[in-house]
C-alpha cells in the first residue's frame, strides 16, 4: 500500500497488533487527540493502553512503515451492556452476530494518506468474511471519520446520549455496514 508523501511514497503494511506495540500506540493516541478530538473524553477515565487494547477485542491490527507505527484498529465483541441493544433493536439482528470496529486512529503524520481507510477496510473485511455485521459509534464532532464511514456505505441506525456525553455536544451516532 502506498501514498505519495512530499518527496517520497509512504509505503505501509498491516499486521496483527502485538503486546509490545501498546506503549507506542498509547503515545500515538495521546499525541493525535488534540487535533482529532478522538477519543472525545480526554483525559481518559482509564490508562490509555487499556483504551487501545480492550478485553472485548477479538482482533486488532496496526499499520506500519517498517518499525514505525502509523495507526490502529480493532474488532470487538458487542455486548448487550455496551450498545448491543441499540443495534439489535435498530437492525433486528441478534447481538452475537454483531462486531464493533473500535479504536481506529492514525498518527498525525499519516493523516489523509489512506492509512485509516486501509485499516477500516481490513476490519470490515474481517467481520464480513465471518458472516457478521460491522457496527460502530461516532460523534458528529469527528466529521472526517463520519464522512469516511458514509463514503464506505455505513448508515446511521440510531442516535443516543451516553451518560458521559456533556451537554451541548451532539448525540452519538450508531452506524452499521449492511451489504
Report helix, strand or coil for 55: coil
Share of the chain above pLDDT 90, in %: 85
CATH code at position 126: 3.40.630.30
Residue-number span of the structural domain to which 169 is assigned: 2-177
Local confidence band at 2 (pLDDT 50, 70, 90 cut-offs): low
Which distant-in-sequence residues (6+ apart) come within 8 Å of 40 by Cβ?
A: 139, 141, 142, 165, 169
DSSP assignment string, 62-92: EEEETTEEEEEEEEEE--IIIIIHHHHHHH-
CB 106, CB 70: distance < 8 Å: yes
Counting every residue written for the chain, the total comes to 179
3-class DSSP state of 30: helix
pTM as predicted: 0.92
Q: Could you give the number of structural domains in the chain? A: 1
Residue 164 has pLDDT above 90, yes or no: no
Please say whether the beta carbons of 105 and 138 come within 8 A: no
**Which grid cell is 116?**
485509516
**Set of cell numbers at residue 89:** 433493536
Q: What element of type H or E holds 29?
A: helix 22-36
Considering only 5-14, 75-84, 116-125, which range has the smallest mean pLDDT?
Answer: 5-14
29-88 pLDDT, tens digit each = 999 999 999 999 999 999 999 999 999 999 999 999 999 999 999 999 999 887 899 999
Amino acid at each position: 500500500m502506498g501514498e505519495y508523501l512530499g518527496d517520497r511514497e509512504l509505503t505501509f503494511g498491516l499486521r496483527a497488533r502485538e503486546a509490545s506495540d501498546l506503549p507506542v500506540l498509547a503515545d500515538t493516541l495521546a499525541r493525535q487527540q488534540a487535533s482529532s478530538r478522538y477519543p472525545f473524553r480526554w483525559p481518559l477515565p482509564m490508562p490509555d493502553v487499556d483504551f487501545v487494547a480492550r478485553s472485548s477485542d477479538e482482533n486488532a491490527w496496526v499499520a506500519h512503515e517498517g518499525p514505525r507505527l502509523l495507526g490502529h484498529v480493532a474488532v470487538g465483541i458487542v455486548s448487550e451492556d455496551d450498545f448491543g441493544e441499540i443495534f439489535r433493536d435498530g437492525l433486528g439482528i441478534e447481538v452475537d452476530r454483531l462486531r464493533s470496529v473500535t479504536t481506529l486512529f492514525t498518527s498525525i503524520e499519516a493523516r489523509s494518506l489512506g492509512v485509516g481507510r486501509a485499516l477500516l477496510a481490513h476490519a470490515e473485511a474481517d467481520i464480513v468474511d465471518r458472516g457478521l455485521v460491522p457496527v460502530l459509534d461516532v460523534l458528529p464532532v469527528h466529521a472526517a471519520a463520519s464522512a469516511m464511514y458514509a463514503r464506505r456505505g455505513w448508515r446511521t441506525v440510531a442516535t443516543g446520549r451516553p451518560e458521559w456525553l456533556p451537554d451541548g455536544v451532539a448525540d452519538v451516532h450508531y452506524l452499521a455496514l449492511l451489504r
